Chain A
Amino acid sequence: MRYSALTLARNALTGHRQWQPMWRDAQPQPHYDVVIVGGGGHGLATAYYLAKHHGVKRVAVLEKAWIGGGNTGRNTTIVRSNYFLPESSAFYEFSVQLYEKLSRELNYNIMFSQRGMITLAHSRHDEETLRRSFNAMSLNGVDCEWLEPDEVFERMPLYNRAGRFPVRAGLDQPRAGSARHDAVAWGYARAASDLGVDIIQNCEVTGFLGGDGHVGGVSTSRGNIGADKVCLAVAGHTSQIAAKAGLQLPITSYALQAFVSEPVKPVFDTVVLSPATGVYLSQTDKGELVIGGALDLYPSYAQRGNFHTVENVVAGMLEMFPAFSRLRLMRQWAGIVDVVRDSSPILGPSPVDNLYLNCGFGTGGFKAIPAGGWTMAHTLATGDVHPLIKPFALERFQNGALIDEAAAAGIAH
């Protein structure tokens, strides 16, 4: 069913009883051309582009719980391409450009709102670093604007003018913004399912078929499933699954938390990040503030998060916006993120034949979903690594060609 104003009107008149499920509830088949493990945004987007661009007929996405229930459904939904290094800039900018067209592409409103994102500078050193980012972005061809303090306050009248961390400048990427996380997962799932992709929920991958340096499928809680190629897109759980194929990876899993306040009237219409407080926030269309901060302190698979991080984030937010002190937080949660030393993803083939990796996005892979799916589909279907992701190969941890965005961007979102 195509979504349009007309479909909406027709369904309204028939009491909304005619809507179809958004994707088929597929049953596992004995064999697929490509099996994708993990029904988050990256897995679903990879499946969609495999079917759409490369005509790969038999594709399955295996999800242990429900699609979009991992980090894709837990993230703070900031989409941006204000990266420092040329490799990251090219990849993430491609992703932002795909986001700009995604609602139309998927016939699904992903509510991409390009409200800009302002990174602040609070000291002379911050200012110099921010200038450096400004120059790097300009050289990379990503449009950005330098804001003086009064311009920052004009954009955010409630921002603290007399705080411990004074605002000395801001760097705005006007085309950055946020998108609805569930819609991205569901939109790709629906479009992929329409193209024949099997989306199989409640199907946990427990190991691999094959052996001797290659995989030929997966064993799952719903039986064995053969596959010519297998792609892992399981974020914080990559180490566990890869270990079943004998692979050890340069990944450590941490909890990253997010917070949502009760809804209030529109109070600011951009995304703001303060490196000094380590806090970033935005306001949803419903009026809730969505707040994020730094990682919890130690490796964890507990999807709940630690209290002292809650305190830090709340304190940081109040330093930025004292006016929010009466706001109550409605929800708090954590996702398990796959952190890599250079804060860049690992994309492409693995040392095990027919096994491909999409992982290492850590705290910032929501923005990369369209580009991650696009480039991994190309790589899986053609056997040639897509040029945009060649620098993100696993080999960089052997040859030393790291893409060290940790030092360059230094932010967790």
Chain B
Amino acid sequence: MLLISCPFCGPRDETEFRCGGQSHIQRPGPHTAVSDADWGAYLYTRDNPKGWHFERWLHAGGCRQWFNLARSTVTHEIRAVYAMGEAAPVIGESS
């Protein structure tokens, strides 16, 4: 079970949160210039790394704010909590 530090509420049990999947996905545009391939990739293609994953979380059972986590998909270790819109932090290899 994860203990997740909401930037607004502090450490809370993972069951209060929802994982919103990969973060930092940019919507391509302008819309009329976007190919089917790019639009499909935007909607569906995901990194799915075995290792560090930069992902969006929602504190659904708390302040209802979104924020980002850098979390290992192998150990589940959380290395960084950072704001929406902020660039992904650089994380070392080992976890």
Contacts and interface: CB of A to CB of B under 8 A. Distances in A.
B74 A398 contact: no
Interface string A258-302: 000000000000000000000000000000000000000111111
Contacts of A250: 40, 44-46
Given A250-B44, A251-B48, A300 B14 contact: no
Contact of B73 (A301, A399, A400): A301
A227 B1 CA distance: 44
B25 interface: no
Interface string B28-63: 000000001101110111111110010100000000
A298 B19 contact: yes
B64 interface: no
Nearest to B41: A248
B76 A300 contact: yes
B14 A297 contact: yes
B26 interface: no
B65 to A, nearest CB: 18
A19 interface: no
A399 B35 CA distance: 11
Interface of B: 1-2, 13-15, 17-19, 21, 36-37, 39-41, 43-50, 53, 55, 71, 73-76
A397 interface: yes
Interface size class of A (residues with CB under 8 A): 20 to 34
B14 to A, nearest CB: 7
Given A398-B40, A399-B36, 20 more contacts: A237-B50, A239-B49, A249-B46, A250-B45, A251-B46, A252-B48, A253-B48, A299-B21, A299-B48, A300-B73, A301-B50, A302-B73, A302-B75, A306-B1, A308-B14, A308-B15, A397-B43, A398-B36, A399-B40, A400-B40
A252 B40 contact: no
25 contacts: A237-B50, A248-B46, A248-B47, A249-B48, A250-B46, A251-B46, A251-B48, A252-B46, A253-B73, A297-B17, A298-B55, A298-B71, A299-B53, A299-B73, A300-B73, A302-B74, A306-B1, A306-B14, A307-B1, A308-B14, A308-B15, A341-B44, A397-B44, A398-B36, A398-B39
A322 to B, nearest CB: 24
Contacts of A249: 45-46, 48
A221 interface: no
A299 B19 contact: yes
Contacts of A251: 46, 48
A400 B42 CA distance: 13
B35 to A, nearest CB: 9
B86 to A, nearest CB: 20
Given A341-B44, A397-B44, A299 B55 contact: yes
A397 B19 contact: no
A301 B53 CA distance: 11
B48 A397 contact: no
Nearest to B57: A298
B37 A398 contact: yes
Contact of A248 (B14, B39, B43, B45): B45
A297 B4 CA distance: 13
A240 interface: yes
Contacts of B44: 250, 341, 397
A248 B41 CA distance: 9
B36 to A, nearest CB: 5
A308 B45 contact: no
A112 B55 CA distance: 41
B45 A302 contact: no
A301 B55 contact: no
Given A300-B73, A307-B1, A397-B43, A239 B48 contact: yes
Contacts of B46: 239, 248-252
Nearest to A395: B40
A239 B53 CA distance: 14
A295 B36 CA distance: 30
Contacts of A341: 43-44
Nearest to B71: A298
A307 B13 CA distance: 12
Interface string A101-113: 0000000000000
Given A298-B71, A302-B74, A308-B15, A252 B21 contact: yes
Give 9 nearest A-B pairs by CB, closest first: A250-B44, A298-B19, A239-B48, A398-B40, A397-B44, A397-B40, A398-B36, A301-B50, A248-B45
